């Protein structure tokens, strides 16, 4: 495909996106256009208000070079990114997507090629995007990223450089800052307001009746028990045939937190048709989610590619996580690629332990970051010791079923207990936090 062909595809995608945005703005609920301001350009006052806490960082690729804008309240700092041209970004992203597509295809799966592609693009992201930004942020803490266009496909939090003083011989962006993502400043302000919702009522959706061939969700039930342990109060469990679109929609309206261990699919040509796969062949579409009027502190979209569209020309602003923010969620934890069942469940267990089982709870974005570092840096033996100690103490955060499955998995991993089998970004960097 020629450069001109790519340009025409991008223009066509932009026209389709504009059509979708107009459709969303015209959606009426009870005769009122609830989303009339969807993706409307924010004012500087909107942006300054959103950036009054942590810095808000806009990132964009352009010709002849890209740019980062770091907003701290009314102050805006320009950070040139000369190597982040639109062409350079396309040249990096398209092979990365091709490697990911091959890894998804069971008939041509090549884990080493996927790991290599992921390593290459995250190494490129360090000097090209994240190192100049992190240098200007200077003081460690939290920062919120607004990643435009194809950058929305990439795990910016996993950009890395060599560092022999660290366990994996690498230093990652998330070692400097807790990084979460938002589509725009207005979404951040709305999410911050919704984050005050008490998190008491849990909905879990686990292993709907059918999953796509070759994509079983063997640990979905275990994830549900881990989430339930974090919310000992009201719990609505939906699994198998009971997890149909109507039941899930009704339960979402009543929930404060939703943990959905199911597959999802995104469609750029008709983004409102992006959906979660539920019981049988039923789908809960983004179009449906926008009408639900949710009040969710957090939605966890686990074990599936729920953060980005599955196409070469995505725009992250019309996708399941940002649709959930628009529908009334304060935060969405979603995935950029398929992460293995065991790694996902361990990561979620540590995330809930940090968020819900500490004397001084850790905010969800930071809890995810800490859980990712833990997955990366601890040996198999250190993980096993933590789970064994929790079992001996009867710790509430580790259900017996999860402990049993984790012990079995860790004891049989190649490399033995001294290895860090989950150190590669494939096992932990796939998840990102959208919202607050």
List the domains of the chain with CATH numbers: 44-181 (3.30.420), 191-435 (3.40.50)
Higher-scoring residue by pLDDT: 53, 242: 242
Contact 141, 54 (CB under 8 A): yes
Q: State CA 375 to chain mean position distance.
A: 16
Please give the share of the chain, as a percent, with pLDDT higher than 90.
Answer: 59
Please give the share of the chain, as a percent, with pLDDT higher than 70.
Answer: 83
pLDDT at 266: 67
Distance CA 121, CA 113 (A): 12
In this structure, of 61-65, 73-77, 149-153, 329-333, the range with the lowest mean pLDDT score is: 149-153
Output the six-digit token pair for 225: 């028990």
Q: Looking at residues 108-127, what average pLDDT do you find?
A: 90
**Adjacent-strand bridge partners of 180:** 144
427 three-state secondary structure? helix
Q: Return all residues near 384 (Cβ < 8 A) that are at least 6 apart.
A: 406, 407, 410, 411, 417
State yes or no: pLDDT of 287 exceeds 80: yes
State yes or no: pLDDT of 310 exceeds 60: no
State yes or no: pLDDT of 1 exceeds 60: no
413: confidence class by pLDDT, cuts 50, 70, 90 = very high
Cβ of 15: how many Cβ atoms within 10 Å?
10
Cis amide prior to 64 (ω within 30 degrees): yes
Residue 54: phi and psi, rounded to 5, are: -85, 155
pLDDT at 293: 85
pLDDT at 391: 97
State yes or no: pLDDT of 92 exceeds 70: yes
Q: Output the CA torsion sign for 266, 267, 270, 273.
A: negative
Contact 326, 35 (CB under 8 A): yes
Q: Looking at residues 210-238, what average pLDDT do you find?
A: 84
On average, the pLDDT of the chain sits at: 86
Distance CA 312, CA 12 (A): 12
> What pTM does this model have?
0.87
Q: What is the pLDDT of residues 8-48, one digit of tens each?
A: 665 665 666 667 667 767 766 556 565 666 656 677 777 88
pLDDT at 106: 59
């Amino acid at each position: 495909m020629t450069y001109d062909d790519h340009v025409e595809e991008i223009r066509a995608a932009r026209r389709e996106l504009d059509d979708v945005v107009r459709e969303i703005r015209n959606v009426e609920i009870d005769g009122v256009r609830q989303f009339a301001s969807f993706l409307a350009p924010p004012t500087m006052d909107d942006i300054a208000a959103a950036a009054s806490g942590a810095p808000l960082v806009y990132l964009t690729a352009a010709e002849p070079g890209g740019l980062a804008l770091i907003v701290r309240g009314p102050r805006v700092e320009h950070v040139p990114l000369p190597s982040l041209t639109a062409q350079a970004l396309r040249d990096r992203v398209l092979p990365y997507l091709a490697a990911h597509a091959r890894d998804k295809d069971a008939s041509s799966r090549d884990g080493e090629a996927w790991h290599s592609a992921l390593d290459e693009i995250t190494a490129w992201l360090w000097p090209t995007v994240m190192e100049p930004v992190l240098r200007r942020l200077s003081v460690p803490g939290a920062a919120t990223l607004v990643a435009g266009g194809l950058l929305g496909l990439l795990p910016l939090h996993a950009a890395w450089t060599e560092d022999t003083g660290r366990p994996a011989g690498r230093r990652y962006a998330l070692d400097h800052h807790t990084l979460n993502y938002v589509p725009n400043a207005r979404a951040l302000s709305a999410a911050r307001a919704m984050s005050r919702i008490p998190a008491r009522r849990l909905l879990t959706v686990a292993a709907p009746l059918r999953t796509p061939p070759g994509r079983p969700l063997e640990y979905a039930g275990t994830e549900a028990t881990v989430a339930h342990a974090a919310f000992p109060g009201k719990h609505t469990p939906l699994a198998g045939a009971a997890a149909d679109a109507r039941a899930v929609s009704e339960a979402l309206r009543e929930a404060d937190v939703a943990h959905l261990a199911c597959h999802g699919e995104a469609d750029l040509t008709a983004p409102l048709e992006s959906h979660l796969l539920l019981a049988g062949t039923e789908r809960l579409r983004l179009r449906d989610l926008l009408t639900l009027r949710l009040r969710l502190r957090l939605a966890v979209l686990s074990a599936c590619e729920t953060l980005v569209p599955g196409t070469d020309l995505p725009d992250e602003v019309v996708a399941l996580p940002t649709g959930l923010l628009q529908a009334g969620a304060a935060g969405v934890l979603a995935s950029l690629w398929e992460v293995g069942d065991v790694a996902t469940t361990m990561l979620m267990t540590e995330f809930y332990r940090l968020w819900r089982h500490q004397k001084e709870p850790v905010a969800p974005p930071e809890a995810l970051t800490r859980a990712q570092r833990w997955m990366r840096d601890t040996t198999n033996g250190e993980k096993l010791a933590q789970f064994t100690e929790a079992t001996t103490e009867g710790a509430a955060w580790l259900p017996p079923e999860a402990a049993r499955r984790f012990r079995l998995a860790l004891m049989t991993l190649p490399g033995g207990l001294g290895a860090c089998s989950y150190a590669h970004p494939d096992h932990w960097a796939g998840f990102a936090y959208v919202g607050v």
